[in-house]
Structure 1
């Protein structure tokens, strides 16, 4: 499910007149204070180890001397919630159309003309009303989070170009190229994924980019090990880390059960019989969610990198350009700058010397 990625891009490109309506003045004031505090946080340099046990829990789709490719996405374990509802609603909607057409073709039959017309009016009205609400209230937006979209989100670390590439749908920001040396790892704790961030005060761009990499962690150490695996690969090469198991991109059904149990094994290993019993009772729900996840995968398509990214790092091939706000259409670019205060203090000057207080406005 790509709800978080869609929400982030939606906030980045929100119309100016709707910002106060959506976020509110109090939220924006508090957000400004937290952003100023975040500017003072220090992050360890990329050449400093954070773990003695680098390892990836996957899924890894490519691992070679040029690039490392992994799955990303923040709510993969919830993918499958919307799919059964959409299929049921679609069956009802198309069923109404089919019944209406069938009655028109067959004629009144054994019923009176009045009953025949009344039945057509009721079935046709319900069907038309459902489709009207579908488009009027934009019910199609949640469908795009897990149906008829990319089968998975991808992140590719290219050690030759020292760049990181994110493959997302256009409604979530599209494919972007970010610098490796501006990355900020966030490893909060158990139950979370490793989050990689590119903040405006480091990239010089008026938008933030997040990527939730791999699986949910059972312990905080899992996240440190995952980040150390990526860090060593990019800094020291593939020979500095244990070779991970490379997974096929074929949507096998058992792959869809994994997200439901990510991060649970360490908890279950140290839990008592009550915890095991609770999980056993919940297993039908996990199976239903896993089935929905698999159907979602089957109804989506495999993402494909642009040619310049596929060839990046090869001898004689161009290095992809880093993504900027100006790479988007003029209206999106304008909105990205207008919403920059969601991620940077309004009076922050990226060109000011470090010892100075906040200088001129971020927005031109």
Structure 2
């Protein structure tokens, strides 16, 4: 799983300027990538879609909770160790029992090491917990700007045409495994120094697998909502609130089992049921991100916008869609059907 940018933030990148790899793999806003027989992809990451702007989740939203499980378990275990050994030594001391130096030395060592480990694992826990439920990026087509809710909680904006987009990689040195993602660099006036970095909500083993997701965003900004709206099938219901308890499980399943053979689905459903409580803990320990008044003022949706689509238009019931029993659902058609009923 790719936690680059969240666990080790992009601002601590090894090079303060664009690397040769980033320059060689730049994605240009005004250059269309031909996908052949492939369609553009949204990766069920769009929060809100309209003629004026499109808001998406971050690339860590789909795996939120996976890191929380081992981190929370380790913190609890270390805290139990500190409490157990400390209380034992205090009780033995108050009762006046004679103990060898090894008892006190070993117990003190365990307490100190467990305390330090608890602190380290609590830092790991904070990668997903006690922060924000997600870190949205808003592509403001009307004003040709991109608004970013950063992992530090601050909000910044940059002109769409001036952002340097590229495919970056995260190398897991031990297993020699790479994850590529789509990064947007906000550059200084020299057009070389990287000031800020954000990502689109997808990682892949090969750069070529990212082009369909890049084209989804690029075509929306350059060609309009009608060029990509047809691929919208599901939206995370996280706009101004936390995702629903059961939605978290189904979304976890969708992210993990996408493309898996049908016979593996029951096994994966049971497997990710164990990860679900930790996703709930992570989500409900976090704050909900809020855009500034300035960003909201720039992103006002017209009441008659024909492309105003949100989680309200998600398939019902959700479990049928997640299990592949109702894949014919189209959010655009649902939007038009609801509008027709309202106007009748």
Normalising to structure 2: TM-score of the pair?
Answer: 0.61
How far apart are the structure 2 equivalents of 1:308 and 1:236? Answer: 26
**Which of residues 165, 177, 187 is equivalent to 1:184?**
165
2:251 aligns with one of 243, 254, 258: 258
Q: 1:302 to 1:280 in 2, by over 3 A?
A: same
Q: Which residue of 1 aligns with 2:97?
A: 114
Preserved contact between residue 2 and residue 203 of structure 2 (Cα < 8 Å) = no
Q: Which consecutive residues of structure 2, in runs of 5 or more, have no partner in the other structure?
A: 170-177, 302-344
Matched, 1:4 2:7: no
Aligned length: 282
SS in 1 for 2:42: coil
Equivalent residue number for residue 247 of structure 1: 236
Q: Which moved more, 1:2-11 or 1:218-227?
A: 218-227
Matches within 5 A, 1:58-137: 58-74=44-60, 76-77=62-63, 79-87=65-73, 89-90=75-76, 93=79, 97=83, 112-114=95-97, 126-127=110-111, 129-135=113-119
CA drift of 1:310 comes to 2.2
Q: Which residue of 1 aligns with 2:308?
A: none
Match of 1:57 among 26, 43, 55: 43
Please name the residue that 1:272 is paired with.
Answer: none
| Conservation of the 8 A alpha-carbon contact between 1:72 and 1:153 | yes
Structure 1 residue corresponding to 2:221, chosen from 234, 239, 247? 234
Q: Secondary structure at the match of 1:304?
A: coil
Cα deviation per residue 1:154-182 (whole Å; 9 max; x = unaligned)? 11111122111221232xx8433233113
* Pairwise CA distance, 1:49: 5.5
Segments of 4+ moved more than 6 angstroms: 98-104, 118-125, 217-222
Secondary structure of 1:142's partner?
A: helix
Matched, 1:155 2:155: no
Provide the secondary structure at the position in 1 that maps to 2:139: strand
Aligned to 2:324: none
**Alignment partner, residue 334 of structure 1:** none
Report which of the two has the higher share of strand.
Answer: 2
Contact kept, 8 Å, 1:96 with 1:124, in 2: the verdict is no
Q: Distance in 1 between matches of 2:88 and 2:281?
A: 29
- Give the TM-score taking structure 1 as reference length: 0.58
Look up the SS of the partner of 1:294 in the other structure.
helix
In structure 2, the CA distance between the partners of 1:65 and 1:266, relative to structure 1 (3 Å rule), is: same
Q: Which has the higher helix share?
A: 1
* Aligned-residue offset at 1:280: 6.1
Rounded Cα–Cα distance in structure 1 between residues aligned with 2:180 and 2:55: 16
Deviation at 1:149, TM superposition (A): 1.2
By how many angstroms is 1:71 displaced?
A: 0.8
**What are the superposed Cα offsets for residues 88-117 of structure 1, whole Å, 9 maximum, x if unpaired?**
52365268549967998xx89xx953279x
How many Å separate the matches in 2 of 1:254 and 1:10?
33
Q: Which structure 1 residue ranges, 5 or more long, are not aligned? A: 13-22, 270-275, 316-364
Q: Deviations over 1:127-158 (max 9, x none)?
A: 565335545xx444312211111111211111
Instruction: Map 1:175-324 onto structure 2 (within 5 A).
Output: 175-181=155-161, 182-186=163-167, 195-198=182-185, 200=187, 204=191, 206-207=193-194, 209-215=196-202, 223-242=210-229, 244=232, 245-249=234-238, 250-251=242-243, 252-259=245-252, 261-262=254-255, 264-268=257-261, 276=263, 284-313=270-299
Aligned residue number for residue 151 of structure 2: 169
